[in-house]
Structure 1
Amino acid sequence: MIPMSTEPDSAAEGIDWRSESSNVEMSRRDQLSELYEQKIRVPAVVAWSDDRTRLGILILSVYLFMALVDVLGLWRDPSPNQADRFLRPFENMQYPLGTTNSGVDLLALIIDSTPFILLMVLAGGVWATTLAVAVGTLSGYKGGTVDTVITTISDFFMAIPGLPLVIVLAIALSPENPILLGVVLTINYWAGLGRSIRSQVLSIREASYVEASRTMGTSTPRIIIKDVLPNIMPYVMVNFVLAARYTIFAAVGLYFIGVLPYSGQNWGVTLSNAYYQGGLFSMQALHWLLVPIIAIVGLAFGLILLSQGMDRIFNPRVRTRLTGESESVTEDTDASTTEMI
């Protein structure tokens, strides 16, 4: 009787290895495909399906384009030219938005101010929203002593009048850096937003899926990242836009009244100069006043339109309906039912 060999077939083993490697490769490819589908394509389709979001993206793209033009030096500097004083918009196409009383090109002035404004707005929105999310989420989820301490600190900052505090800090620090200025303008804006986020987290932490994660021994940071934060993201994004808009209006107002230093060109500085040079009472200088106002309102309007589309992006029901997943699921269900019959 010939004994059977117990050694594995090397060819078959090689095929198994290649098959296993192929399966691993395919699984990684599927993971990347799913990540692209959920995080990039589906949000983009949902965002682009909303007219308000499209218009908001278009408006903000104009401001980003102006900032890029200024950074690359593709437009002339706003320098006085006494030969072209008080030109009205489109009177001379060399100065499409007109000039000031000293012959400064208003379009060049707006373009020159845009990078400063965008950095300031981004810094203020990120500072206020990030701190509010961290404070509100930790306070609402942990509870107990942590909640008491954080809530007390938030109440203290909420009790301080925001505008006087900002004015005092602006006078004391005289911030010329746009990032520092954005932080100063929203120094206590986070407190009220943090309390609102805390109240939402208090209800979310009692949800069944959060309780299930705790039962399975999932760590607190993972529960917050995977279960809590996705449910408050629409609210957070809307308030990020509101904080950015607040930063714009606060900066322009403080520049207008002369609290912030007149360093370089700025929309608030332009507005103040136009007002004190008779832009409100003279038709000849009215465009000098209107141009910075339109720039301010346009940026705020673009941010508001974009924020209105954020709920559609983060709301899973809306995403499912707009991307056609509901219809495909219905068709699959109908087809399987027909086959069974």
Structure 2
Amino acid sequence: MTVIINPEGVADPKASPAGTRATLRRNFWRGVWRVLRRKPSRMAGVAIIAVFVLMGIVGPLLYPANLPRDDNALYAPPSLAHPLGTDFEGTDVLALIVTGARYVLLTGFATAVITVTVGTAIGLFAGFRRGRWDTLLMRITDVNLAIPGLPLLLVLSTVWKFTGPLQMGLVLGLLGWGGIARAVRSQTLSLRERGFIEAARGLGLPTTHIIGRELLPGMAPYIAMNMLIAVTGAVYAQVGLFFLGVLPFESNNWGVMLNLAVFNGGALTTPAALPYLLAPLMAILLLTLGIVLIVDAMDEIFNPRLREE
């Protein structure tokens, strides 16, 4: 008979494993809520990310595919009709920010998923198996780390048109997994010598079970934080490429806005164009700030010492 320990620390022979898992999940999310409420800045971070996600999901549905232009309101100052002013074509800047959020967020999410998935899989397998597999996978990782990302993207842009955010995220993700693979491998080499891993190997459990059920849960907090950080890196990378004019302007996003503001709108020399330049910069800053505040909360959520303090 399996004896389950309930949250009060009392053995409950009638409790099922499924019920215990549900209780643990509830207790975990209650702890997350307590950590978030402890500092108003963390709640602000959640609110910022929620606003951007809402913009990415609902924003393009609120505006037509081709935003209206007003030739009589070029570089109009902020007002009730145009809270962030207009651009050099008379298009509402707020509408550009809202409709451009989806591309930026989808690219960042796709990049983070690919970076974390590939890097974690390679790092876990190499660190656990060691030997020839470790040597081979780490040499591949070294090659990935040695690839100059920007020059390669410049070359790829001449032969491959990045027509969507998922394609952009795929390329950025395949170029950026090396760092997390190295870090996860180091963590795996440390954990594989622990007693519970030795016990699992002694029981003859398969490698996939040990990696997926024993090693991976212990590294989940580290992986989750790296995923959020990867989103930030992807946002900077794609915005920088669009700003440099490397990628085709086939869809509106914040990088395109920066490029047009500087090179077409004369935002660096025309004071009236300054809101058009500052709007995407502030959007990037706020998105990064929201991610940083959530990472700060995650550090306390998954760090028992910080929770005790």
- Say whether the fold is shared (TM-score over 0.5): yes
Alignment of 1:76-225 (within 5 A): 78-89=67-78, 92-225=79-212
Is the partner of 2:252 in helix, strand or coil?
coil
Rounded to whole Å, the distance in 2 between the matches of 1:116 and 1:161 is 24
Show the counterpart of 2:47.
58
Show the counterpart of 1:287.
275
Q: How far off its partner does 1:242 sit?
A: 2.0
Q: How far off its partner does 1:55 sit?
A: 1.9
Q: How far off its partner does 1:82 sit?
A: 0.7
- Aligned with residue 42 of structure 1, among 13, 21, 31: 31
Name the amino acid aligned to 1:310.
Answer: M
Q: How far off its partner does 1:80 sit?
A: 1.3
Q: How far off its partner does 1:310 sit?
A: 1.6
- Structure 2 unmatched ranges of 5 or more: 1-11
Relative to structure 1, the CA distance from residue 141 to residue 70 in structure 2 (aligned partners, 3 Å threshold; closer, same or farther) is same
Q: How far off its partner does 1:303 sit?
A: 1.3
Rounded to whole Å, the distance in 2 between the matches of 1:246 and 1:27 is 43
1:230-275, Cα deviation, whole Å (9 max, x unpaired)? 3322322222122111111111111111111101211111111111
Show the counterpart of 1:328.
none
Q: How far off its partner does 1:30 sit?
A: 3.4
- Aligned with residue 31 of structure 1, among 20, 27, 50: 20
Relative to structure 1, the CA distance from residue 47 to residue 226 in structure 2 (aligned partners, 3 Å threshold; closer, same or farther) is farther
Q: How many residues align?
A: 297
Show the counterpart of 1:305.
293
Whether contact under 8 Å (2:60, 2:98) holds in the other structure is no
Relative to structure 1, the CA distance from residue 143 to residue 28 in structure 2 (aligned partners, 3 Å threshold; closer, same or farther) is closer
Relative to structure 1, the CA distance from residue 65 to residue 75 in structure 2 (aligned partners, 3 Å threshold; closer, same or farther) is farther
CA RMSD of aligned residues (A): 2.3
Comparing 282-291 with 65-74, greater Cα deviation is found at 65-74
Whether contact under 8 Å (1:270, 1:292) holds in the other structure is yes
Name the amino acid aligned to 2:144.
Answer: F
Whether contact under 8 Å (2:63, 2:95) holds in the other structure is no
Rounded to whole Å, the distance in 2 between the matches of 1:316 and 1:224 is 23
1:269-319, Cα deviation, whole Å (9 max, x unpaired)? 111111122101221111111011111111122112212222222224445
Name the amino acid aligned to 2:242.
Answer: Y
- Structure 1 unmatched ranges of 5 or more: 1-22, 323-341
TM-score by length of 2: 0.88
Whether contact under 8 Å (1:124, 1:183) holds in the other structure is yes
Rounded to whole Å, the distance in 2 between the matches of 1:132 and 1:158 is 12
Is the partner of 1:176 in helix, strand or coil?
coil
Whether contact under 8 Å (2:49, 2:287) holds in the other structure is yes
Rounded to whole Å, the distance in 2 between the matches of 1:76 and 1:176 is 16
Runs (4+) of structure 1 exceeding 4 A deviation are: 23-26, 74-77
Whether contact under 8 Å (1:52, 1:309) holds in the other structure is no
Whether contact under 8 Å (1:78, 1:106) holds in the other structure is no
Q: How far off its partner does 1:29 sit?
A: 7.0
Q: How far off its partner does 1:31 sit?
A: 2.5
Whether contact under 8 Å (2:111, 2:173) holds in the other structure is yes
Whether contact under 8 Å (2:116, 2:223) holds in the other structure is yes
